[in-house]
Structure 1
Amino acid sequence: MDNTTNPRLDFLRARIGLSMHSSPSPLGRWLNGTLKVAEYGRLAADYVVREEMTNPARVLHGGAAAAILDDLIGTMVFALGREYAYTSVNLTIDFLHAAGINETVTATAEVVRAGRNIIHCEGRINALDGKIIAKCATNLIQTSLKLNL
């Protein structure tokens, strides 16, 4: 199989511009982003900051930002079409700016290096004005769970 397409990536490509309510991830369905880009090794989605995603200061909670990044990166790795599932080993995040309730932010996930057992990725959440809300680096490792999809 070439690295430009596979059934999982094709599914995501067909969802560009639509809500992620059909995400294979239950957390992804709750986050409910709108997919903007679906390429091999790269995904981007818009998310509206809802009240239940905020902290007492009424800005995007660090845990919600981490969830957005981890989930989008996981979905992107899933869309690589590999035979086995991958899981996060670590997730290092820098929180650089705030995003308030009802603001739209764009999250991007990209593969930096895809080894046989470990995939290194980076993610970023940007405000519409380009300010970086959060950025991360993560490593995912192949599990023994064979995927049927």
Structure 2
Amino acid sequence: MNPIIEFFKSHIGQYAADISPSSLGRWLNGKLVSVEEGSVVVEFVVREEMTNPAKILHGGAAASMLDDVMGMTVYMLGRESFYTTVNLNVDYLLPAKLNDVLQVKSKIIRAGKTVINIECQILNADHKIVAKCTSNMVVTGVKI
């Protein structure tokens, strides 16, 4: 049994502002929805400060949601070292508006010793893909 996964499971329903060690994660303030090995679902509400002048979700805010959720997913593997994002390839497919509730779902594709390949999607209330990405995360010399 993975104690990190069990820790995350014990926090399902809680908001990042109350539990995240990440400053950006606290600002995004997602609500943990579900956790399983290699996958996490986090719910976000599009706030005004996350939007562009057209009042739709800013691409940088969307990328931050994706990257933050993927980081959580990789952390749950219980590795000794911190992993960092090497690349983040995002496709923006639909707009998300102010106050939209979005779900961000991650999935590890391959977890090697040095590089972890992961995918993530942002889904709207109609379960349509707002944005999706792939990323590679690489081990650093920083111990957790």
Give the Cα separation in 1 of the matches to 2:23 and 2:39.
21
| Residue 116 (str. 1) matches residue 113 (str. 2) | yes
Aligned length: 143
| Residue 38 (str. 1) matches residue 2 (str. 2) | no
| Residue 15 (str. 1) matches residue 11 (str. 2) | yes
Q: 1:65 aligns with which of 59, 62, 72?
A: 62
Structure 1 runs of 4+ off > 2 angstroms? 5-8
AA in 1 matched with 2:5 = L
Task: Give the SS at the match of 2:99.
Answer: coil
Percent of aligned pairs with the same residue? Answer: 48
AA in 2 matched with 1:72 = V
AA in 2 matched with 1:12 = F
Q: Deviations over 1:36-67 (max 9, x none)?
A: 11111100011000000000000000000000
Aligned to 1:79: 76
| Residue 27 (str. 1) matches residue 27 (str. 2) | no
| Residue 92 (str. 1) matches residue 89 (str. 2) | yes
Q: TM-score, normalised by structure 2?
A: 0.96
Q: 1:125 aligns with which of 117, 122, 135?
A: 122
Q: Deviations over 1:3-26 (max 9, x none)?
A: xx4332222111111112211211
| Residue 134 (str. 1) matches residue 127 (str. 2) | no
Task: Give the SS at the match of 1:57.
Answer: coil
Give the Cα separation in 1 of the matches to 2:110 and 2:21.
24
AA in 2 matched with 1:78 = Y
Task: Give the SS at the match of 2:16.
Answer: coil
Q: TM-score, normalised by structure 1?
A: 0.93
Q: 1:55 aligns with which of 34, 44, 52?
A: 52
Give the gaps of 5 or more residues in structure 1. Answer: none
